[in-house]
A = this chain, B = another copy of it.
Amino acid sequence: MGPRVSTAALADRLTGMIGARASTARGVLDQHGQSESYYRALPPDIVVFPETTAEVAEIIKLCAAASMPIVPFGAGTSLEGNAASVAGGVCFDFARMNKVLAVHDSDMDVVVQPGITRKQLNVELRSTGLFFPIDPGADASIGGMTSTRASGTMAVRYGTMKDNVMALEVVLADGRVIRTSKRARKSAAGYDLTRLFVGAEGTLGIITEITLKLHPVPQAISAAVCGFDTLHNAVDTALSVIQSAIPVARIELLDDVMMRGINAYAKFGYREAPTLFFEFHGSETAVAEQAEAAQAIATDHGGRGFEWAKAQEDRSRLWHARDNTLYAGLGLRPGARAVITDVCVPISRLAECLTETRRDADEHGFTAPIVGHVGDGNFHMLILVDPQRSEEIEGAKALQARMVARAVAMDGTCTGEHGIGLGKIAYLADELGEAVDVMRAIKTALDPNGLMNPGKIFAGGAHA
């Protein structure tokens, strides 16, 4: 890395280029250093709000010449400090690059800029009969979801961002602009660069355009809630539904602690027991058949009080509560912050992993609700801590470390969908060993000066 020019000099250049869309105002910097998780604030030196790919490329060239870190920022909803400015530098906020560039109805795809959020996108798609299903809970930006390989509640049916991103436009570390793929549904043309940038957390390049698969809005949808006496019974139900090839659209587990939070947050009156939330998509006939089969399986596993929500309004209320598990969870301990972590294991090991993790949290006295995308073997724990008490944070991190080690020992992963960011760098090495050296070699090849979102995924930058 060459000598870093002064922040003031770069800020002047940027203001000359884009005026007030380059900012060094304290409030703006601080806002871009926060996250929804427990990490300390790590603000950038400058925030820019580009409007075009050409601007992004020009600013990246200036950053490269000035040896200034380059950090992309979407909606700020990531959970592992993925957009924190660890080494300062220039934060690229994509709020002004939030357009739908093209809807291809017949091909069922859409081209968008990275700053659009998933909910904004679905509003824009309303008249098309198509929708974008990936739902990580928060109203994240599509750019952020792409960069963290997000998934969420509907991945069990529609896949993750890996499966739904068809092509990307990316600005590289030296300002070159590439397209990773054409718009065909599949291709065997060389290395899969699309999948390389999906989940790279901005460490290889900055994404400026995303082509997404869309899906037809289902003719019929129904949803249901069902409580169980044990986590094991709830998970066994999910396992059996998946193995029966019922194409469930969502199958979410909320443990008893989380149900208590949901009841309080959304004024529901559910039994505070391990609970599955189901959703079925398809034709009227198919949905009815799927729902009946799933209910029979749940009943076999001791599921009680199946409640159906077929009306749009009832479903919205139900999933609104589910989408707000972060806030519902936080409500269980006023003033708390959450150490949030997710793991994913082969589904045959899920019941064991969940049960042991629940017991571990209880034994260490933590209020730690669990919510899981159980059809994929993925679950989250929100460990509620008093942010002023460092021993609590340390205890929570130790609990998290045991949870991750347990998942990896079961042939699972340290993160199903939040990414590595700052929080899971050490775990990545535990999980994949020398494969991380291959990742680092790719990082070095594409970003030799280590300026692209430094401090994420790898310890000590690309050269450590």
Contacts and interface: CB of A to CB of B under 8 A. Distances in A.
A345 interface: yes
Interface string A372-400: 00001110000000000000000000000
A37 interface: no
Contacts of A32: none
The interface centre, meaning the residue of A178, A186, A239, A378 with most chain B CB atoms within 10 A of its CB, is A186
Contact of A187 (B195, B347, B415, B438): B415
Interface stretch (A21-29, A86-94, A282-290, A303-311): A282-290
Given A186-B416, A186-B417, A438 B193 contact: yes
Contact of A183 (B187, B411, B420, B436): B411
A377 B166 CA distance: 14
Interface stretch (A118-126, A315-323, A442-450): A442-450
Interface string A398-442: 000000000110011111111110001001100111111111011
14 contacts: A104-B346, A159-B163, A162-B192, A179-B435, A184-B378, A184-B411, A186-B413, A187-B416, A188-B199, A188-B416, A193-B435, A193-B439, A195-B196, A441-B446
Contact of A283 (B155, B193, B289, B433): B289
Given A189-B432, A243-B106, A243-B108, A184 B346 contact: yes
B184 A377 contact: yes
A172 interface: yes
A184 B438 contact: no
Given A195-B196, A431-B189, A183 B438 contact: no
A156 to B, nearest CB: 9
A345 to B, nearest CB: 6
B420 A190 contact: yes
Interface residues of A, number: 92
Contacts of A417: 186, 188
Contact of A107 (B204, B347, B445): B347
A15 interface: no
Residue in A163, A193, A378, A427 whose Cβ sees the most chain B Cβ within 10 Å: A193
Contact of A439 (B188, B190, B345, B411): B190
B106 A442 contact: no
B446 A184 contact: no
Given A199-B192, A416-B187, A182 B457 contact: no
A191 B185 contact: no
A282 B215 CA distance: 19
A7 B83 CA distance: 53
A141 to B, nearest CB: 16
